[in-house]
Structure 1
Amino acid sequence: MRFKNIIIILLIFISSCSPKINYIDGHKIIRYGTKEFENFEKNATIKKEEAWAIQKEITSKHQVPVTHWLFFIIDKKYIFTTSFSSKRETELKGISVDSDTGEVKNIDYKTHVKYENFYNGDNETFST
């Protein structure tokens, strides 16, 4: 019985960790403030400033907090989130804006990713 409980606890722990590993491994993540980000944006239909304006318009229409931060492009989508920690990590939860079409989606990938820098179109800052 004790061995069975240990196995169940291990399986629960492993299953709770696997979405993070699977999500990060299966997607192209470009961190804001890198050369790769700059190169991507040069060829993007929608630039970060326009994506900022789009997500701000959507959040104000739905009366949700507007202070989202851009940390990444993931799979050609700008990711705006309000969740970050002192460990220089952010939760991939918030709004995505497609860099080709401008399509907006609410996202919650239930994972954290380390960031290097951020963009805020209103020039707001935060400290970690």
Structure 2
Amino acid sequence: MSKESEKFPACSISFDSYALQRLERLENQTRRLNDELKIEIEFSSRIEKEHADLTKQLEKMIEKEMNKERSWRKNIELAVKVDEIAKIEKASENALHVAQNNQTEKKKVKRKTKDKIKK
């Protein structure tokens, strides 16, 4: 008998049989570890994809908010300009009204002067 096929003193299985059983256990363990690794890789890939998707969504939300803020600022600038235009229009109307009142006063003075001259 060769040394490899000799039986171990404390047990009844041969070295070849023990080596085959050990090899089977290692193959099974390797298969389980490979399966776990596949699951971990899939999970990691899903997390990376989800992270990328969330990053894109966040970028879109930030862009929307920035656009809202730009619009808000433009609207405020526009409101200020409209308010300034309204003030200018009001001042113009007041100036026109004053000018018309002055014209009316001048006409009254002219009439009074003409009336005095006629008398």
Larger radius of gyration: 2
TM-score, scaled relative to structure 2? 0.26
Higher strand residue share: 1
- TM-score normalised by the chain length of structure 1: 0.24
> Going by fraction, where is helix more abundant, 1 or 2?
2
